[in-house]
Structure 1
Amino acid sequence: MMGIIGAGRMGTALARVLAAAGVPTALCTARCDRPAADPPPDCTPATLDDVLWHTDPVLLALPFPVAVGLVSGPAGRCGDGRILIDATNPGFCRDRVVPPGLSGGELIASAATGWRTVKAFNTVPAEHLAATRIGGGTVTLPVAGPADAKPPVFDLAGRLGFEPVDVGGIESSREMEALAVLMARVSAAYDLHGRIGIRIAELDRSPVGRGADVAG
C-alpha cells in the first residue's frame, strides 16, 4: 500500500487519482495524533505512524518547511531503505528556505537517512493531476534520485497516465524545483489556472519550412 503524508490540496488530489487508478493508498496528516479527515473514496484514512511504518512508497505532500522538519526527526530514520517520494516545492515558500546551490530534494534526502529519496510529482499542479495529455502527447513527469529507487516511481507515474523521464540523481531536483516555479509564473501570467504541463520529446528530424534551413 502507498502512503501519502499531507491531506491538503496536493495530498488529497493524489490520493483521489491513485484510488481511481486502483492503487491502494493510505492518507494521513503530519500530526501523530489524528488520521486524515474525509479522505477521498477508496482511500484509507491513516495515522502518521501507520504510514511511516507500514506503507511503501511514502509520498511527502507537505509544505517544504514542514516536510524537512518531519524527516529531520525520528520519521527520517524509520524507512529501513523504503522509498520516500518528495513532491515539495520550496520555491513557493515566502522566505528563502534552501541555501543557494542546493535544492529542497537534496535537503530532504540528506535528512531522511533511513529512506531512498526520489523527487517526483512536484511539476504537476494538484488541480490537474488527472490531465495527463498535452499537445497530442503525454505529459512528462521528471524523476530524480537513486537509480535503484526509481522503478516503482516510474510504474506509479505510468499507472496515472504520465510519461516518466529519468533526469539523474537527486541533485537534479534543483532544476525540477526551478521548473515548477517557472510553470507557476507562466500559468499566472497567461491566466491558465494551473492548466499547464510539459512534454519532453525528441524533435522531429524532418525539415519543415524555411526555418529548418536557417537552423541547419
Structure 2
Amino acid sequence: MTAAAVGIIGAGRMGTALARALTAAGVPTALCTARDSPESTLDHLLRHTRIVLLALPFPVALGLVSGPVGRCGGGRTLIDATNPGFCRDRMVPPGLSGGEIIAAAANGWRTVKAFNTVAADHLAATRIGGSRVTMPVAGPAEAKPAVFELAARLGFDPLDAGGIESSREMEDLAVLMARISTAYGLHGRIGIRIGELDHAPVAVNGQGAATA
C-alpha cells in the first residue's frame, strides 16, 4: 500500500471503525467528513486515494455516485460496503442488488462489493474457532487483489464470490446475519466461515442410519 491508499466516505459507525482498523493495520487511510480539514475534504480524497470505500447508507451512496463523483474514478477501485436491505423503504428492484446499481452509476470506477457482511463494532473479531472469518468479495477480477489485501490486513479470509451480480446474495446474507444477531442477542458478534468440510469416514448401521 502506498500513501493515501484508502479513502473512506462516511464517518458514521462503519466508516470510523474501518478507518481506525485500517490505520492500526498500517494502511494509510483518509476519512471524509464535513468537519475535516481542507486536506481531507471529499474532493481531496477522491483525487488522492487509490481505493475509495463507501461507508454510507445506500440512498446517500447512490446519490453521490450518480453525479460527478461516479465519473471521476479513472478506473480506480470503489468498494461498496452498503446494505440496501437495511433501508426502511425498498430501494432495489427485484432481481437486482445495490452493488449492481452502484456499479452502473459509478461507471468511472471498478466497483467491488465487500465489507458489507461485517459489523462495525466487531471489525477486530476476525476469528471463529481459531479460523479467520470469511469475507466475500464480488466484482471485476482486476480490482479484487487490492481488496483481498485490505481484508487480509484486517485479519479476514477474503473469498472470491464472483462478479458484481453476487452482491445480491451478499446483501441478503448481511440481512440474515443481522436478524440472527438480533434474535440471539449477539449485538453484531456474528460472522461466517466458509471452508471445505473435514472428511470423515461414514458407516451405515443395520437400520440404515449413517453414523460417523
Q: Which TM-score band (shorter chain)?
A: over 0.9
Alignment of 1:1-216 (within 5 A): 1=4, 2-29=6-33, 34-36=34-36, 46-207=40-201, 214=210
Amino acid at match of 1:50: H
Structure 2 unmatched ranges of 5 or more: none
Q: CA deviation at 1:46?
A: 1.2
Q: Distance in 2 between matches of 1:214 and 1:156?
A: 43
Q: Per the alignment, in what secondary structure is the counterpart of residue 51 of structure 1? A: helix
Instruction: Let me know the Cα RMSD of the aligned residues.
Output: 2.0
- Quote the offset at 1:56 in angstroms: 1.2
Name the CA distance, whole Å, in 2 between partners of 1:187 and 1:36: 34
* Structure with bigger gyration radius: 2
Q: 1:157-184 CA distances to partner (integer Å, 9 max, x unpaired)?
A: 1111000000100000000000000000
Q: What TM-score, normalized to structure 2? A: 0.92
In the aligned structure 2, how far is the partner of 1:5 from the partner of 1:35?
13
| Cα deviation, residue 214, structure 1 | 2.8
Amino acid of the structure 1 residue aligned with 2:210: V
Q: Deviations over 1:112-132 (max 9, x none)?
A: 010000000000000000111
**Unaligned ranges ≥5, structure 1:** 38-43
Q: Provide the secondary structure at the position in 2 that maps to 1:187.
A: helix
TM-score w.r.t. the length of structure 1 is 0.90
Which amino acid in structure 2 is aligned with residue 20 of structure 1?
A: A
Q: Which string of whole-angstrom CA distances, capped at 9 and with x for unpartnered residues, describes residues 81-136 of structure 1?
A: 00000000000000000011000000000000100000000000000001111122
> Deviation of residue 36 (structure 1)?
3.8
Q: How far is the alpha carbon of 1:210 from its aligned partner? A: 7.0
